[in-house]
Amino acid sequence: MKAATTRPGLLALALALSACSVFDGDKIDYKSATKGSTLEVPPDLTQLPNDSRYTVAGGAVSATALQAGQAAQPAGTVNAAALALGDVRIERDGQKRWLVVRRPADQLWEPVRDFWQANGFTLAQADANVGIMETDWAENRAKLPQDFIRSTLGKLLESLYSTGERDKFRTRLERRADNGTEIYITHRGLIEVYGSASKDSTVWQPRPSDPELETEFLRRLMVKLGISQEQSRAIAATSDAAPRAPSARMATVDQTPVVQLDEGFDRAWRLVGLALDRTGFTVEDRNRAEGTYFVRYVAPGTDKKEPGFFSKLFGAPSATPPLKYRIVVRSQGEASTVSVLDATGAPEASANAERIVRVLADEMK
């Protein structure tokens, strides 16, 4: 952290001495932060190895076996606008966008993996069975001022320059009943701020997800999958369909906390998946046929030695064993309920369940 505490001052000095600092807002040049101090996964979202205890009566729950359950679901998206080119199309629902590719997920896994590595990222998670890969925290070096000092001494002082921002991206591949694949990219961000009035130390705090960054990487992924630069820009620049708020709200049903949505299953399932991705939950499996996401969770404050969610990003992961939950989506017509079950499938009414429901409801509003 000593290097991090001096960076804001050095960057300010460079800005002051530069006659004209130029930020290229359209340029992306990521560099993984793993060569320095690694930004750890927040302690209440700790990732652990998979185990075989997650089963649902009536069928397997692995992501590779989802096509059987998805066959009962409509292939299209009722509330989304779409543009297609070749076997790749982009669908939109307000600010949310994702790709639909007419190729099996197992044919897309390696190209998507190569895509992130070619863009300067180190993968912190890559599980083909679950269909999820996640980058480590990385810095967009294109946001640094291209001033005289940096251009002259940049090679010597490169490690002292910092944008004070870090980004992480999660990619989720969902199999479709038509043997195609839906690809979702979600962004999480951190910003470095002074931790006290004396400005003698800095801390990392979360910043909002950036839909424009998500769209840009979807566009670049389209190019990786065979679409030309010009075609991808034209598709990505198309105006959004009018956004429709999901009307998520917390409620209590049978003494258990739930999220209620005025949405049918397709949109509710997608909204919950995006909310889990953007809030950083470790999704170890999912079963669309059962409407179930399997997650792991560590309640904040359960380990007295662990200082909290984002206050020790450079420290060791929490030693508190994560708990296993099921996030379940149940729909009837155009109304859906999202609830939390324990590892055995029983309704969960604990403080942890209420906390999880609140996080999801806030993200889906």
Residue 32 CA to residue 275 CA, distance in Å, equals 25
Q: Considering only residues 173 and 96, tell me which one the structure prediction assigns the higher pLDDT.
A: 173
Average pLDDT, the chain: 75
If pLDDT is split at 50, 70 and 90, which confidence band does 305 have?
A: very low
Query: What is residue 290's predicted lDDT score, i.e. its pLDDT?
Result: 95
Query: What is residue 235's predicted lDDT score, i.e. its pLDDT?
Result: 80
- Read off the pLDDT of each residue in 143-166 and give the average, rounded to a whole number: 62
Query: What is residue 15's predicted lDDT score, i.e. its pLDDT?
Result: 39
Of 132, 94, 113, nearest to 263 (Cα)?
A: 94
Q: What is the pLDDT of residues 315-330, one digit of tens each?
A: 444 556 788 999 999 9
Residue 192 CA to residue 6 CA, distance in Å, equals 12
Contact 256, 328 (CB under 8 A): no
Q: Considering only residues 101 and 26, tell me which one the structure prediction assigns the higher pLDDT.
A: 101
**Is residue 252 over pLDDT 50?**
yes
**Is residue 181 over pLDDT 50?**
yes
Query: What is residue 109's predicted lDDT score, i.e. its pLDDT?
Result: 97
80-94, 206-220, 262-276, 343-357: least confidently modelled range: 80-94
31 class by beta-carbon count within 10 Å (0-12 exposed, 13-18 middle, 19+ buried)? middle
Q: Considering only residues 245 and 130, tell me which one the structure prediction assigns the higher pLDDT.
A: 130
Looking at the chain, the whole-number percentage of residues with pLDDT higher than 70 is 65
If pLDDT is split at 50, 70 and 90, which confidence band does 55 have?
A: very low
- Read off the pLDDT of each residue in 122-143 and give the average, rounded to a whole number: 91
Of 88, 274, 110, nearest to 181 (Cα)?
A: 88
Domains of the chain: 1-37+80-243 (3.30.530.50), 40-63+245-365 (3.30.310.170)
Residues with Cβ < 8 Å from 159, sequence gap 6 or more? 3, 36
Residue 311 CA to residue 73 CA, distance in Å, equals 42
- Read off the pLDDT of each residue in 82-101 and give the average, rounded to a whole number: 84
- Read off the pLDDT of each residue in 18-35 and give the average, rounded to a whole number: 52
Give me the DSSP letters along 46-99: ------S---BTTB---GGGHHHHHTTS-SS-TT-EEEEETTEEEEEETTEEEE
**Is residue 272 over pLDDT 80?**
yes
24-28, 61-65, 279-283: least confidently modelled range: 61-65
Query: Hunting for tokens 């029983």 — which residue is that?
Result: 346
Residue 282 CA to residue 80 CA, distance in Å, equals 27
Q: Considering only residues 38 and 19, tell me which one the structure prediction assigns the higher pLDDT.
A: 38
